[in-house]
């Protein structure tokens, strides 16, 4: 008897119901009064009393299985048999697309940088793009005949014979905002200063006459090269991953002393090169004095880097001009 139950169970499991005819055939075979399960119930009387309960139980389970299978198949049948109401009720039709906006890749890069600086406790400051000679050069310790002051490199907005009227330039870097900050507030200062800067240069895939920089300034008592190093390392690790390979090397900028640059290793271990990513240093005492900060009481560090340069590395861009074409096919890659 057990064998027959198992056999029917197997038959039910193997039964494929893909039409209403098959569904009816299933019902007749297993669930009707003359069906195979009902037939088995007839044997009930012949079962010894001791086994009756177990036999009854397994028969009921079998019946339940057949009924469930039937019910599920019926539901499935009724689903597929729903009549399509109309062609436009087809939910596989494409939807109307809503516009999806994007931030410019330079904004995106800048936001990443800002997020890192937020974690380092820096806030954000801003300054003008048209800047006077004092803030752009003199206060930053550029000697009077420094090449950067030449008209060859810098856009002049105003140049007056009268020495009391200051020369105006399109700022060549974001460093003048350092001076403005220190003039305005006493240390401690911990700020970054992003912005647009200008160089009077011919346009090429590698250079454009305007670009963007981020300047960082930290001034307090007892700020040292070690602190600078700490924040540089934290920055590159957060920007490029904790396994970034970097090096620091001495350099020169008029407004920092000592000055150092940071390179990161770009490419694989065997096939790569050092790429300069930022310039930095300890704020030069002359810069402090020009801004009204006592260099004996305070020390500080500053660093600057180009947003385009970082974005170019990050996104593998080969021509800087593409940032200013605003081609929608380019912009849509940064959604």
Partner 1 sequence: MKLSCNWLNDYVSLPENVQEIADTLTLIGLEEEKIEHIGVSLNQIIVGEIRTVIPHPDADRLSICTVFDGNKELKIVCGAKNVEVGQKVAVAPVNSTLPILDKQGKPIKIKKSKLRGVDSEGMICAEDELGISDDHSGIMVLPPDTSPGISLSQLFHSYQDSVIEIAITPNRPDATSHIGVARDLSAKWAVPLSIPTVTTPEQIVNQGKKFTISIEDPNKCSRYVGVVMDNIQVSPSPAWLKNRLEAIGLRSINNIVDVTNYVMYEWGQPLHAFDADNLKGSTIHIKSFDDTQEFTTLDGIVREVPSGSLFICDDEQIIAIAGIMGGENSEVSLSTTTIVLESAYFDPSVIRRCSKQLSLQTDASYRFERGIDTNNQLTTAMRAAGLIQEIIPDALITETIDIHPAPKKILELSLRVSRVHQILGLKIDEEWIIKQLNRLEILSKISSSGIIECQIPTFRPDIEREIDLIEEIGRLYDYNNIPSPSNGISLSSSPFSNWEQDKQKIIETLVGLGFNEIYSNSLISEAEASQFGNIDEMIATLNPLTKDMTTLRPSLLPGFLKAISYNKNRNAKGLRFFELGNVFFSDEKGTFHKGIGEQTHILIGLAGQKHEDHWLSPSTKNTFMDLKSSVQSLLVSLGLDHRVNEKIDGQNSLRYYIGKQYLGNLSQVNKTLQTIYELDQAVYFAEFNFQLIHEARRDFGVPTFSKIPRYPGIEYDIALVMDREITAGTIKTEISNMGTKLLEKVCIFDVYEGKNIPNNKKSIAYRLYFIDPNKTLNLSDIEPIIDKVVRSLNKKYNIELRS
Within positions 201 to 240, which residues make up the interface with partner 1, using CB under 8 A?
A: 201-202, 209-210, 218, 222, 224-227, 229-231, 233-234
Phi, then psi, of 218 in degrees rounded to 5: -135, 115
With binding defined as CB under 8 A, does residue 282 bind partner 1?
yes
Query: Which range, of 18-26, 59-67, 71-79, 129-137, touches partner 1 by CB under 8 A?
Result: 129-137
With binding defined as CB under 8 A, does residue 35 bind partner 1?
no
Candidates 28, 44, 76, 124; binder of partner 1 (CB under 8 A) is 124
Q: How far is the CB of 82 from partner 1 (least distance, A)?
A: 22
With binding defined as CB under 8 A, does residue 41 bind partner 1?
no
With binding defined as CB under 8 A, does residue 22 bind partner 1?
no
Distance CA 173, CA 85 (A): 67
Q: How far is the CB of 28 from partner 1 (least distance, A)?
A: 46
Distance CA 274, CA 253 (A): 20
Residue 288: burial class (beta carbons within 10 Å; 0-12, 13-18, 19+): buried
Q: Which is nearer to partner 1, 7 or 151 (CB)?
A: 151
With binding defined as CB under 8 A, does residue 197 bind partner 1?
no
The answer to whether the Cα torsion of 191, 195, 201, 206 is positive or negative is positive
With binding defined as CB under 8 A, does residue 123 bind partner 1?
yes
Q: From residue 253, give the alpha-carbon distance in Å to each of 93, 97, 294.
A: 62, 52, 20
With binding defined as CB under 8 A, does residue 128 bind partner 1?
yes
With binding defined as CB under 8 A, does residue 112 bind partner 1?
no
Q: b/e per residue, 157-174, with b = 16+ CB within 10 A?
A: eeeeeeeeebbbbbbbbb
151: which 2 tokens?
Answer: 């008209």
Which distant-in-sequence residues (6+ apart) come within 8 Å of 86 by Cβ?
none
Residues 147-186 interacting with partner 1 (rule: CB under 8 A): 150-151, 155-159, 166, 168, 170
Candidates 39, 61, 71, 126; binder of partner 1 (CB under 8 A) is 126
Candidates 34, 80, 93, 241; binder of partner 1 (CB under 8 A) is 93
Question: Look-up: residue for tokens 């939910």?
Answer: 91
Decide if 180 contacts 156 (C-beta within 8 A).
Answer: no
199: which 2 tokens?
Answer: 């160089």
Site string for partner 1, 62-91 (x = CB under 8 A): --------------------------x---
Distance CA 226, CA 236 (A): 16
Candidates 55, 137, 198, 240; binder of partner 1 (CB under 8 A) is 198
Query: Which range, of 44-52, 64-72, 199-207, 235-243, touches partner 1 by CB under 8 A?
Result: 199-207
Q: Which is nearer to partner 1, 40 or 293 (CB)?
A: 293
Q: How far is the CB of 231 from partner 1 (least distance, A)?
A: 6
Q: Three-class SS of residue 217?
A: strand
Distance CA 274, CA 171 (A): 29
With binding defined as CB under 8 A, does residue 260 bind partner 1?
yes
Q: Which is nearer to partner 1, 22 or 257 (CB)?
A: 257
Q: Which is nearer to partner 1, 6 or 103 (CB)?
A: 103
Query: Where does residue 216 fall: left (phi above 0), alpha (psi -120 to 50 degrees), or beta otherwise?
Result: beta
Q: How far is the CB of 215 from partner 1 (least distance, A)?
A: 15
- What is the pairing mode between strands 272-283 and 256-267? antiparallel
Q: How far is the CB of 273 from partner 1 (least distance, A)?
A: 12
Query: Which range, of 25-33, 53-61, 70-78, 318-326, touches partner 1 by CB under 8 A?
Result: 318-326
Q: Three-class SS of residue 193?
A: strand
- Residue among 145, 109, 125 nearest 313 (CA): 109
């Amino acid at each position: 008897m057990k064998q027959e139950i198992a056999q029917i169970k197997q038959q039910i499991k193997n039964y494929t119901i893909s039409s209403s005819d098959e569904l009816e055939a299933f019902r007749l075979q297993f669930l009707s009064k003359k069906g195979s399960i009902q037939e088995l119930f007839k044997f009930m009387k012949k079962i010894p009393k001791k086994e009756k309960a177990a036999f009854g139980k397994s028969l009921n389970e079998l019946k339940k299985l057949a009924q469930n299978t039937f019910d599920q198949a019926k539901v499935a049948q009724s689903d597929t048999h729903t009549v399509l109401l109309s062609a436009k009720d087809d939910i596989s039709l494409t939807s109307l697309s809503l516009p999806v906006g994007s931030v410019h890749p330079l904004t995106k890069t800048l936001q990443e940088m800002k997020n890192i600086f937020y974690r380092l406790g820096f806030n954000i400051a801003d300054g003008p793009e048209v800047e006077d000679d004092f803030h752009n050069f003199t206060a930053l310790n550029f000697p009077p005949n420094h090449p950067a002051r030449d008209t060859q490199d810098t856009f002049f907005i105003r140049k007056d014979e009268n020495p009391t009227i200051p020369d105006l330039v399109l700022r060549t870097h974001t460093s003048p905002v350092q001076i403005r900050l220190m003039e305005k507030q006493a240390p401690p200062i911990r700020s970054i200063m992003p912005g647009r800067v200008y160089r009077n240069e011919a346009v090429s895939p590698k250079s454009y006459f305007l670009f963007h920089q981020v300047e960082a300034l930290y001034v307090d008592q007892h700020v040292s090269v070690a602190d600078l190093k700490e924040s540089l390392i934290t920055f590159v690790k957060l920007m490029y991953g904790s396994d970034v390979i970097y090096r620091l090397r001495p350099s020169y900028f008029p407004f920092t002393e000592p000055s150092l640059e940071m390179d990161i290793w770009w490419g694989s271990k065997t096939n790569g090169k050092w790429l300069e990513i930022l310039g930095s240093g300890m704020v030069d005492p002359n810069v402090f004095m020009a801004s009204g900060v006592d260099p004996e009481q305070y020390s500080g560090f500053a660093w600057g880097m180009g947003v385009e340069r970082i974005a170019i590395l990050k996104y593998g861009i080969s021509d800087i001009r593409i940032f200013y074409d605003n081609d929608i096919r380019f912009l849509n890659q940064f959604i």
